[in-house]
Amino acid sequence: MTRLLLTIAMALLCALVTGCPGLVAPRDRTADTVPAAPPVADTVAVAPPAAEGAATGRPVVLPGAVGAATGTSVSSGALPTYIPVVGLKGKIISIGASTATNLVAHLAVDFRRMYPDVTLQVSASALSLGPTALLKDQADLVPMSRPLTPEEVQSFTRKYGYPPTEIKAAIDGLAIYVQKKNPVPGLTLTQLDGIFSQAQRRGGTSIETWGQVGLTGEWAGLQIALYGYGPEDGAHQIFRHQVLHDEPFRLALRVEGGGSSIVQGVAADPGAVGFASIFFDCKGVRGVPLAGADGRFYAPTKENIRSLNYPLVRAHYIYVNKPPRQPFGGAAGEFLRFLLSREGQQIVEAGGNISLDAAMVNEGRRSLGE
């Protein structure tokens, strides 16, 4: 599957990168400041460790969450327009997780049109290989579908004397997919814990049939079949942390090589439930609404994910090696500035991901040294 994803990403780059729009004069980077987003009064908790609802009375944000959001669609006018620079040359090596690498591959198509003298080598790999490539200085960009672990950050810091720089590239939501005909109206995180976990840390009970979550008739006795990712995948790790409180998955989990395989398996199995990015939604399945921190149920829509009302939210990241107090330059730096622009975030949206808001773009550009 890794080889297949790599082939697809490279085929996308080779097949679609044609032509070269005219370049304009070098830009004045001082004009690229993004207007600051208005302050957020009510940050919605992401997967609180207590039972669903507002019982805890305070927001809790777990690792893998994206932080505060405005709750509204990102206005493209709030993001800076990208102005190409003249004469950019170089080579960019990107090694990282498959889902985040798809995002890089989409951006690379338009980037190469602007800069035909820049070579991009985009590789989708096992999740653990990206941090290793960053540590060994074998990659300029390391796309990740989860944050680096404390151990990975410590290893990098011991070698270089400073931590790696983290850039948020896009927002994503993990949808809970069932077959299109499955009538389950919604699930709580406690119920998901009962369905997927070997040990119920949320205080619920083990759930093995659809009748145990309220379905009747022919659905009541139907055994629940589980589909998901393997332990090396970021979605597996984030779901395990946010939903199962780090307890192991049931042994019955059917591990698939990617999100498309998961949703295809669920579409073909009336009793199935699986988790995968909203990127992989298709007509044979539907995303089940989940109970948010306020006790209400939210469908996995872009609006609900961006507002953090939907509880299973993550970011896609790109990690780079940038020494302190130095701007991140060269072809790789220009690629990230393109990502953190109006045009770059429009490509993020067109590729099926969720664009960043102005505050996140501002944060990323400051991290690059602007």
Residue 225's alpha-carbon distances to 104, 178, 234, 254, 269, in angstroms, are 33, 10, 21, 8, 8
For tokens 């009302």, the residue is 309
Short-list 82, 108, 111, 84, CA closest to 94: 108
Beta-carbon contacts of residue 7 (< 8 Å; ≥ 6 apart): none
* Domains delineated in the chain: 2-20+70-172+316-367 (3.40.190.10), 173-313 (3.40.190.10)
d(CA 111, CA 17): 9
Q: For the stretch 256-268, what's the b/e string if a residue is b when 16 or more beta carbons lie within 10 angstroms of its beta carbon? A: bebbebbbbbbbe
Q: Output the pLDDT for position 76.
A: 53
- In the structure encoding, which two tokens stand for residue 239, read together? 């779901």
The amino acid sitting at 370 is: E
User: 39-43, long-range: CB within 8 Å, 24+ apart, which pairs?
Assistant: 40/68, 40/69, 40/70, 40/71, 43/68, 43/308
Q: Output the pLDDT for position 346.
A: 96
Residues 122-161 have pLDDT tens digits of 988 766 789 999 999 999 999 998 899 999 999 999 999 9
Half-sphere exposure of 187 (CA within 13 A, CB side): 31
Q: Can you give the chain as a three-state secondary structure string?
A: CHHHHHHHHHHHHHHHCCCCCCCCCCCCHHHHCCCCCCCCCCCCCCCCCCCCCCCCCCCCCCCCCCCCCCCCCCCHHHCCCCCCCCCCCEEEEEEECHHHHHHHHHHHHHHHHHCCCEEEEEEECCCCHHHHHHHCCCCCEEEECCCCCHHHHHHHHHHHCCCCEEEEEEEEEEEEEEECCCCCCCECHHHHHHHHECCCCCCCCCCCEHHHHCCCHHHCCCECEEEEECCCCHHHHHHHHHCCCCCCECCCCEEECCHHHHHHHHHCCCCEEEEEEHHHCCCCEEECCEECCCCCEECCCHHHHHCCCCCCEEEEEEEECCCCCCCCCHHHHHHHHHHCCHHHHHHHHHCCCECCCHHHHHHHHHHCCC
- Computed on alpha carbons and rounded to an integer, the radius of gyration of the chain in Å comes to 21
Beta-carbon contacts of residue 43 (< 8 Å; ≥ 6 apart): 59, 61, 68, 308
Residues 215-259 have pLDDT tens digits of 999 999 999 999 999 988 889 999 999 999 999 999 999 999 889
Q: Give the distance from CA 4 to its chain's centroid.
A: 20
CB atoms within 10 A of CB 160: 15
Whether the Cβ atoms of residue 119 and residue 10 lie closer than 8 Å to each other: no
pLDDT tens, residue order, the chain (370 aa): 444 444 444 444 433 333 333 333 334 333 333 333 333 222 222 222 233 333 322 222 223 334 333 333 444 568 999 999 999 999 999 998 777 888 899 999 999 999 999 999 998 876 678 999 999 999 999 999 889 999 999 999 999 999 999 999 999 999 999 999 999 999 999 999 999 999 999 999 999 999 999 999 999 999 999 999 998 888 999 999 999 999 999 999 999 988 999 999 999 999 999 999 998 999 999 999 999 999 999 999 999 998 999 999 999 999 999 999 999 999 999 999 999 999 999 999 998 889 999 999 999 999 998 7
The C-alpha angle with vertex 209 and arms to 204 and 210, in degrees rounded to 5, equals 95
Whether the Cβ atoms of residue 311 and residue 189 lie closer than 8 Å to each other: yes
Q: Output the pLDDT for position 31.
A: 34
Q: Output the pLDDT for position 203.
A: 93
- In the structure encoding, which two tokens stand for residue 327, read together? 């701007």
